[in-house]
Amino acid sequence: MQRRPKAIANSRPSALCSPVMLAKGVIEGLDSRALGAGIRRACLLSLTALTLANFLGCSNDPYPSSQEGEKVLYSSFHEAPRTLDPAKAYNVGAHAITGAVYDTLLKYHFLKRPLELMPGLAVALPERIELADGRILYRFELRSDLLYANDECFELAEPGLRTREVVAADVAFQLFRVADAKVASPVIEPFSNIDGFQEFSQALTARREAEPTFGERPIREQYAAIGGVSGIVTPSRHVLEITLHRAYPQIKYWFAMEFATPVPWEAVTYYDGEEGRQRFDDHPVGTGPYILTEYDKQARYVLESSPNWYGIRHPEWQAPSAIFPSVGDEEDRLSGRLDYAGRSLPFINRVEVHREKENIPRFNKFLQGYYDASGIIKESFDKVVQEDALSPEMLERGVSLGKSVALDVFYIGFNLDDDVVGRLGGERSRKLRQAMSLVIDVEEYTRIFLNGRGVPAQSPIPPGIYGYRPDYDNPYTRVDLEQAKVLMTEAGYPNGIDPKTGEALRLTFDSYDTSTAGMTQVRFYTSAWKQIGIDVRIEATNYNQFHEKQRNGAYQVFQSGWVADYPDPENFLFLLWSEMGKSKFGGPNASNFSNATYDALFVSMKARENGPERMAEIREMIEILEVERPWIELFHREDYSLYHGWVRNVKPMGISTPTYQYRDLDPALRAANRLEWNEPIIWPAIVMLVLAVLVVLPGIRTYLQERQ
């Protein structure tokens, strides 16, 4: 018997029962010579009845019935991350795992907005000490009696050992790995503010090149032979000192990311992919609230609560990141989140994340109650959200809507190294960029392609980040066709005509999203530029070729975006810093924007704590970008997420940090709703029973006549 959800037309069951196949298998196992046709038909009737009874109890529930009463959170993923190595993993999909498995010295307060740091594995926020020579020292003290998750790798240190205490040297070891060029960490630049960091990296590479056998030694021995990093010191078992050669207040945010998590040398050494062992990329060994117990990249992964996590082993500590916070806003109180204040984490013991390649099946499974949360697919948005609120149908189901402005920015960029749109064109090119900016209608774009889910961007800084000004109105993000035409004339392209060719100015727009939807979005921009006479051709390519063209500087116009690593304006304004240039340095400044005044302001701003001087510098930088137009700022995403009524304590953070340990759910309510929303379709079973009776009755009649 199948079950189908109410109001879902195209849902397909995940599991089916087949009484016919079962009966057929049993009957075929009988000796046809031992039974007459009548007896065989009678057996068929009996088996059909029995299997039909079983069929009536079947459902399309894809999960084992044994999990029905358990607090298991069900979710989905699209593609498995390339690596789970915390020194390299740098995307949302990877952080959904590494952020749960690896704990960090500092954490973000779950409820406070804007985001605020608090102690994690560290006893307190780091002590900041200004040294006499201008250097800055940060001193972290780790909690004692912290343990890693159980793992066989620890037998490298002692036979039979399954875990050990976390020490400050484990954090130092991980930072050495970030500096190791062979690891290829993407965050070497921010950690290069640490004394001796670059020198260690260079010495390690040089030693390996000079002595081929050196690179074959255990990794911990290699680091020790080089002498470590001078600015990373462990004066005692649980104390870590980080010395910066220049002020860089943002360093504290990096200690809230997995790049600076404790990592045991045993795991890196043991999981080398040899003799049937996994690679460390796929086998994390951490200190977090969860353990990765299953990892099938093509099907699912499973996280289970770690009995070694300090929040479980030491609830008496009442550590800030191991209990539910007691400070929040009015919405936290009204939603019932603050009812959990002071309770020990985690509330959910198991997280199952299943691979879903397509959006529509994923969304349908959410509506059936088989996933606990979901985004909203474009095809169903108008049925789910009406007048910026949930539809009556969704409210009737007990679904709640979570809305937040993501800490990100999306933009159209110009390659400032290009002869036509770049700096070599001087004032002409600047006016061209300004004109192209004035015809992009961001509100219309978000309405058509994002169901209106986007806040028009006025600068690189999104809401929720220091330096964002809600009253700031960038004059070049308005739609003003007439002014754009004036600027085109002033740029030397009246009506868009290139005087060199006598034809429309021709530019190229590079895009690696070659899907129908992707191409349609790009054509939205090219159609806007046609209004001022510019012929922008789309150069479609794949992802790798796109980035290769960027590295070589062979492009003019492109679209990109950036999601915050941490809540600070430096993490957005650095995208236009000269030293982050894509073509010259391989950095994320894909516009290759270079402005001496902007650079000086950036270097000064990033070294300051928040305050009037820092705010003044941020404003001056934004004014430079306003005129220079290396970007056409588009939007900051508005995330709309749906949660079933049995899910508790959902509050988006705006950055890719999983918060599974804070969530709670009601499995009994979930089971009841699943049953209600997936009503049985019994008519096929009834038809089968009738047909079986019609087939068997003649046989029974013949059998009885023969017995007489």
CA distance 305 to 497: 65
Tokens of 638: 């508005």
Asked whether the predicted pLDDT for residue 574 surpasses 80, the reply is yes
Predicted pLDDT at 4: 38
CA distance 603 to 594: 13
Four-residue CA torsion sign, 639, 645, 650, 655: negative
Four-residue CA torsion sign, 443, 449, 454, 456: negative
Tens-digit pLDDT profile for residues 311-324: 999 999 999 999 99
Predicted pLDDT at 36: 55
Tens-digit pLDDT profile for residues 497-531: 999 999 999 999 999 888 888 899 999 999 999 99
Predicted pLDDT at 13: 39
CA distance 528 to 51: 64
Which of the pair, 3 or 198, is modelled with greater confidence?
198
Asked whether 291 and 101 are in contact (CB, 8 A), the reply is yes
Angstrom CA distances, 578 to 52, 584, 603, 637, stand at 72, 9, 11, 27
Strands (E), 180-299: 232-236, 239-244, 290-296
Share of the chain above pLDDT 70, in %: 89
Residue with structure tokens 């349908």?
A: 364
Counting Cα atoms < 13 Å in the Cβ hemisphere of 228 gives 14
CA distance 642 to 76: 14
**Cβ neighbours for 49, distance < 8 A, ≥ 6 positions apart:** 689, 692
Q: Which domains does the chain have, with CATH numbers?
A: 2-67+680-707 (no CATH), 79-292 (3.40.190.10), 408-639 (3.10.105.10)
pLDDT band at 486, cuts 50/70/90? very high
Which of the pair, 40 or 595, is modelled with greater confidence?
595
pLDDT band at 48, cuts 50/70/90? low
Q: Which of 209, 228, 231, 230 is nearest to 220 (CA)?
A: 228
Mean pLDDT in residue range 356-374: 94
CA distance 522 to 28: 61
pLDDT band at 47, cuts 50/70/90? low
Predicted pLDDT at 550: 86
Asked whether the predicted pLDDT for residue 167 surpasses 70, the reply is yes
Does pTM top 0.85 for this prediction? Answer: no
Predicted pLDDT at 58: 56
DSSP states along 327-377: ---HHHHHHTGGGGTTPBSPS--EEEEEE---HHHHHHHHHTTSSSEE---
Tokens of 520: 């349609």
Asked whether the predicted pLDDT for residue 542 surpasses 90, the reply is no
Mean pLDDT in residue range 464-481: 96
Asked whether the predicted pLDDT for residue 290 surpasses 70, the reply is yes
Asked whether the predicted pLDDT for residue 556 surpasses 50, the reply is yes
Tens-digit pLDDT profile for residues 384-430: 999 889 999 999 999 999 888 999 999 999 999 999 999 999 999 99
Asked whether the predicted pLDDT for residue 80 surpasses 80, the reply is yes
Mean pLDDT, rounded, of the chain: 90
Tens-digit pLDDT profile for residues 84-130: 999 999 888 999 999 999 999 999 999 999 899 999 999 999 999 99
Tokens of 242: 């980080």
Tens-digit pLDDT profile for residues 428-461: 999 999 999 999 999 999 999 999 999 999 999 9
Asked whether the predicted pLDDT for residue 652 surpasses 60, the reply is yes
Asked whether 312 and 305 are in contact (CB, 8 A), the reply is yes
Asked whether the predicted pLDDT for residue 465 surpasses 80, the reply is yes
Predicted pLDDT at 38: 53
CA distance 292 to 270: 17
Tens-digit pLDDT profile for residues 603-643: 999 999 999 999 999 999 999 999 999 999 999 999 899 99
Q: Per mean pLDDT, which range of 258-267, 477-486, 563-572 is the poorest?
A: 563-572
Tens-digit pLDDT profile for residues 295-351: 999 999 999 999 999 999 999 999 999 999 999 999 999 999 999 999 999 999 999
Predicted pLDDT at 59: 60
Asked whether the predicted pLDDT for residue 34 surpasses 70, the reply is no
Mean pLDDT in residue range 19-23: 44
